[in-house]
Structure 1
């Protein structure tokens, strides 16, 4: 009986490719399903039988732990270099655009709240 190994909903193509490569290097036979024409089916990576499921699940668990650790290290590295975007950094990158966006937000907010403010004033 087929076993669902990995759901592909919301997974980046890079991660899906890495999982496929991991299974290929360990000679684990699998097949994929797509979301279908209307996107109502479940895309995933399936094992045709339960023989290799314990080995594949252990490999996948190790891979995900390594990926999580790698992602945390990259984020920590970005934070140390101050490359992580912040509101102040985005202002300094493009001050004119930032100011125009803030003014547009305030304008839309003012138009939205005008009827309510007008009720209280009159």
Structure 2
């Protein structure tokens, strides 16, 4: 029976391509389901044979560890160079946008806490 290896929701296309190539390169039988029209399912990569799932999972874990390490190194390099998108960099770049987002967060918090505040009085 097929087993889910990777849900493609919020997965960048380059990562999905690399996973497909990883499976192909290691002769693991897989197939992909497409996302549906209404956004309920984002699509996925499935392993066809149960016997290959453990090997695919081990390869996937190794790949994700390498990708995570590369992302952390890229983030550290961007911070050293001063090009990282931090809160303060966002605030300097687009203060109105940041202000509107903060106002939205405060409004959501206020609306969520309103019944609690009314009950306390």
Could you state the TM-score of these two structures normalised by the residue count of structure 1? Answer: 0.70
Match of 1:85 in 2: 85
Q: 1:74 to 1:46 in 2, by over 3 A?
A: same
Output the CA distance in 2 between the equivalents of 1:37 and 1:85. Answer: 33
Output the CA distance in 1 between the equivalents of 2:89 and 2:71. Answer: 24
Q: CA RMSD in A?
A: 2.7
Match of 2:54 in 1: 54
- Structure 2 unpaired stretches of 5+: 104-121
The 8 Å contact of residues 29 and 49 in structure 2, kept in 1 or not, is answered as no
How many residues align structurally?
Answer: 101
Output the CA distance in 1 between the equivalents of 2:78 and 2:43. Answer: 33
Instruction: Name segments (4+ residues, structure 1) moved above 6 Å.
Output: none
Q: 1:88 to 1:13 in 2, by over 3 A?
A: closer
Task: Encode CA deviations 1:7-42: one digit per residue, 9 max, x unaligned.
Answer: 111111111111111111111110001221222235
Could you state the TM-score of these two structures normalised by the residue count of structure 2? Answer: 0.71
- Structure 1 unpaired stretches of 5+: 109-122
The 8 Å contact of residues 9 and 42 in structure 2, kept in 1 or not, is answered as yes
Higher Cα radius of gyration: 1
Output the CA distance in 2 between the equivalents of 1:35 and 1:89. Answer: 33
Match of 1:2 in 2: 2
Q: 1:88 to 1:36 in 2, by over 3 A?
A: closer
